[in-house]
Amino acid sequence: MTTALRRLRNYIDGEFRDAADGRTTEVVNPATGEAYATAPLSAAADVDAAMAAAEAAFPAWRDLIPAERQKVLLKIADRFEERAEELIAAESENCGKPIALVRSEEIPPMVDQIRFFAGAARMLEGRAAGEYMDGFTSIIRREPVGVCAQVAPWNYPMMMAVWKFAPALAAGNTVVIKPSDTTPASTVLIADIIGSVLDELGHSRGVFNVICGDRETGRLMVEHKVPAMASITGSVRAGMQVAESASKDLKRVHLELGGKAPVVVFEDTDIAKAVEDISVAGYFNAGQDCTAATRVLVQDSIHDEFVAALAKAASETKTGAVDDEDVLYGPLNNANQLKQVKGFIERLPAHAKIEAGGEQVGEKGYFFAPTVVSGLKQDDEIVQQEVFGPVITVQSFSDEKQAVEWANGVEYALASSVWTKDHARAMRMSKSLDFGCVWINTHIPLVAEMPHGGFKKSGYGKDLSAYGFDDYTRIKHVMTSLDG
């Protein structure tokens, strides 16, 4: 006897709909490896319908005064709190994440981020009006860009949806968002929440639309003629494809892609404290985080002591069931990701040494042990490429110059951290590290007021902060004659 799978649906113009052609894909809980739902495999007709709804809703939403958009976002934040347990359950099933950690580490910041952008809606900035030519006054208008096509990833599907829709809606844009095909459940629930708020406050529900589907669905969204902007959080390959597709009609593009964060540990560091914080920042969410502390460079004088302490911390780190409050992380998101992480370990060079972990754990699901690999060289695959799993690599460096060279010697440039008691050294490193974020004696904290985004193959554009809000606006110069 089989259990009937739950049916997830698209949300278009205020209605939950199946794909026009009826196609679906199964959604698997990574903690069990078993399907629990089906979701639409949306095609061109579904994308057309969602874009038409967003396009029709745009003029009225654009023309609202910012205070009215703020009311909507504040109500959405309130509703997230009221329906938090539903969101937690959906995200845990989506990703196999520990319930307690979703409750403590995801719901509060998401609510705070929505409220931040609700305030940002009323803080439009530009140059002061003035006369820059005799007889003429110039002013700056900051306007929404239009319909936004947004693609969210599977590592934080709920939070990344917030990072996308909150600034877009606050700035006066309308949205069509696609969750990953492996994690659609929480985004569909968000659609229900936002739709109900829009309805209660008398706004078109076409302001926010959700399309489920695969890479082809995402391609159709990005290449569609309606959106003025395409935003994606995903892999470097996906970002390049989006940029190429968007270039065909010169859409604005916002890309938050991969990372390979260096964690530079100097000999004057408090080793016990650094190991404790780095292991959490490396293994949280099974290392499936573009900013994860998974590439450690430690000064040679403390290398052996540090590696031993890190291996011990790994052996004491627990992964497991969603209802176990002692676990730090759950499974990898899908079978392909598990295969990818295993592949990195299987291809390790002979000079590498597995200090802890290195294997799949459990009889079901996609769990992988917290892993430490030492003895690595700068050009090793596992150092250069994003593993996106609970694997921390360790390299030994001799001096500050070498640390900077190796830290910057990858194609990614999203985040980094420096561990030292020397203030001058910390300031030199923060200048020299070519990454969008540099943490000092910590790794991974984020706040709504500060930007998140990288350089090089980590993409361009910012999430969070006033800079993230600005990315969803355009600038218009208005000039008037003083002669009447």
Task: State the catalytic residues.
Answer: 256, 290
For residue 73 the two structure tokens come to: 């976002």
> What one-character-per-residue DSSP string does 3-68 give?
PPPEE--EEETTEEE--TT--EEEEEETTTTEEEEEEE---HHHHHHHHHHHHHHHHHHHHS-HHH
For residue 192 the two structure tokens come to: 């229900």
Report angle CA 29, 30, 36 to the nearest 5 degrees: 15
Q: Write the burial class of residue 401 (CB in 10 Å: 0-12 exposed, 13-18 middle, 19+ buried).
A: exposed
Q: How many residues does the chain have?
A: 484
| DSSP assignment letter at 319 | B
Q: Is 384 helix (H, G, I), strand (E, B) or coil?
A: helix
d(CA 67, CA 303): 55
| φ and ψ at residue 136, rounded to 5 degrees | -135, 145
Q: CB–CB of 406/254 below 8 Å?
A: no
Q: CB–CB of 271/396 below 8 Å?
A: no
d(CA 439, CA 418): 6
Report CA torsion sign: 345, 255, 293, 297. positive
| DSSP assignment letter at 2 | P
Query: What distance, in Å, lies between the first and last C-alpha atoms of the chain?
Result: 81
Q: CB–CB of 36/4 below 8 Å?
A: no
| DSSP assignment letter at 301 | G
Q: Write the burial class of residue 227 (CB in 10 Å: 0-12 exposed, 13-18 middle, 19+ buried).
A: buried
Return the half-sphere exposure (C-beta side, CA atoms, 13 A cut-off) of residue 341.
Answer: 30
